[in-house]
Amino acid sequence: MTDSTVQAPPSKAEAAQETAAAGPDSRPGAAIRTDDLRKTYTTSRGNVDAVRGISLDVAPGEFFGLLGPNGAGKSTTIGMLTTLIVPTGGRAWVSGIDVVANPVGVKRTIGVVPQNNTLDMQLSVTENLEFRGRFFGLSRRDALRRADQLVNAFGLTDRRRAMATDLSGGQARRLMIARALVHRPDVLFLDEPTAGLDPQTRVNLWDTLRALHDEGQTILLTTHYMEEAEALCDRVAVVDHGLVLAAGTIDELKQGAGADTVITVRYDGDAAAVDAATLLDGRPTVGKVETEGDQVRVFTKDPAGILGELVTAGARAGLTVRDAAQLKPSLETVFLTLTGREYRE
């Protein structure tokens, strides 16, 4: 169902690719770059292609989002970029360092907040930060000072002596982000940072992430929440079934995908009787009309009047409207346009 609106990463990347003859490791610029990155798992029931060739380019200081439904391959991609999953094809670099050839070098430059709670449950809040600092070569004194700083900055001051097991979900997530920042990573990876958090906590966490971004932190975030990507990211890659469907700024994506309002009408019978395609043929603003089973879906630049026409046309054909929805251009309509499927969170 993908069409011509699928875009390659910005041409800046292509230009860089051509000028860098000295080899990928020496390329300055990109904070993250992947080239046809792939991961196939071999299981007893055959091969599973988790990632089927993803190419990305993230600039330093950028807040980049991988958006897609669960199982799209986002976490696998982050896993490969953070060296804990070994790619089966393609290449990837973080801060110019090859993730397969030099995983230790990559680990020095990244901070990772995985989806699961990987806090050291045997240690307190401060100790989690202290030892992270020491793992990265800080002296005990510096590590403690750094821990202090982060405990304050992340609003954990009154929980500093608490054991990691005793934290609430939001506190644990904040501590994990703080811990990922102890050693001043070049790139911060966040895998579904707000999954499972209550709305208030989530919005607070967004503020924290925005503040980090304002400070210049390069961030790659995966999310299956459209509104999270829209709220935070400079650029987004829409991922599904292990492939990038489209990448760009939110605005570019909306325009690239047709910037359409999507109108969906469901009837109580076969929607083919409405013959919506012929009905709307005269309207230049209508991009695409899909009829499937009992439903008609219209992609349009100008939604005025269309819903009414579909209702009337349905009545003429003896059909009653059971359900109607009009989605303004958003990442959700982009996803619909690209895949022809409802976005499944």
Partner 1 sequence: MTTTTPTPPPGAPSPAPGAPSSSAAAAPDRTVAVITGAPEPHPTTWKTFAAMMAREFRVLGRNAPSTFIRSVIQPLLWVFVFTYVLPKIGAAGSFEAGAARGNGTTFSTILLPGLMASMLLMQGILGTTFPLVMEFSWQRTIEDRALAPVPLGVLAFEKMVAGAIQGFVGALIVVPIVLFVHASGQSPHAHVTNWFLLALILVAASMMTAALGLLLGTLMDPRKMQMLFAVILLPATMLGCVYYPWSALHSIRWLQIAVLFNPMIYISEGLRSVLTPGIGHLATWAILLVLVGGAVLIGYLGTITFRRRVLN
Asked if 146 is part of the footprint of partner 1 (rule: CB under 8 A), the reply reads yes
**Residues 86, 90, 91, 92: is their CA dihedral positive or negative?**
negative
**Spatial strand order in the sheet of 63-67:** 110-113, 187-191, 218-223, 63-67, 235-240, 243-249
Nearer to partner 1, 24 or 340 (CB): 24
**Residues 331, 334, 336, 340: is their CA dihedral positive or negative?**
negative
Looking at residues 277 to 336 of the shown chain, list those that interact with partner 1 (rule: CB under 8 A).
Answer: none
Applying CB under 8 A, among 13, 67, 78, 119 the residue interacting with partner 1 is 119
What residues form DSSP beta bridges with 187?
110, 218
CB of 186 to partner 1, least distance (A): 6
Q: Residue with structure tokens 């251009």? A: 329
Binding residues for partner 1, total number by CB under 8 A: 58
CB of 201 to partner 1, least distance (A): 16
Between 75 and 94, how does the x/- string for binding to partner 1 read (CB under 8 A)? ----x--xxxxx--------
Contact of 217 with 231, CB cutoff 8 Å: no
Instruction: For residues 300 and 217, give the distance between their C-alpha atoms in angstroms, rounded to a whole number.
Output: 38
Nearer to partner 1, 212 or 336 (CB): 212
Looking at residues 215 to 274 of the shown chain, list those that interact with partner 1 (rule: CB under 8 A).
Answer: 215-217
Q: Which run of H or of E encompasses 278?
A: helix 276-279
What residues form DSSP beta bridges with 98?
93
Asked if 150 is part of the footprint of partner 1 (rule: CB under 8 A), the reply reads yes
Look at the chain and count its residues.
Answer: 345
CB proximity list for 95: less than 8 A, separation 6 or greater: 31, 106, 109, 186, 187
Asked if 165 is part of the footprint of partner 1 (rule: CB under 8 A), the reply reads no
What residues form DSSP beta bridges with 89?
38
Q: Which stretch binds partner 1 (CB under 8 A): 2-10, 110-118, 242-250, 277-285?
A: 110-118
Q: Which stretch binds partner 1 (CB under 8 A): 6-14, 214-222, 259-267, 292-300?
A: 214-222
Q: Which stretch binds partner 1 (CB under 8 A): 114-122, 233-241, 314-322, 328-336?
A: 114-122
Asked if 203 is part of the footprint of partner 1 (rule: CB under 8 A), the reply reads no
Asked if 168 is part of the footprint of partner 1 (rule: CB under 8 A), the reply reads no
Contact of 280 with 89, CB cutoff 8 Å: no
**Cα 161 to chain centroid, rounded:** 34
Looking at residues 120 to 139 of the shown chain, list those that interact with partner 1 (rule: CB under 8 A).
Answer: 120-123, 127, 131, 133-138
Q: Which stretch binds partner 1 (CB under 8 A): 105-113, 267-275, 280-288, 330-338?
A: 105-113
Instruction: At 39, give phi and psi (nearest 5°).
Output: -145, 120
The helix/strand/coil state of 223 is: strand
Residues near partner 1 (CB under 8 A) are 41, 60-61, 79, 82-86, 95-96, 103-104, 107-110, 112, 114, 116-123, 127, 131, 133-138, 142, 145-146, 148-150, 152-154, 157, 181-186, 208, 211-212, 214-217
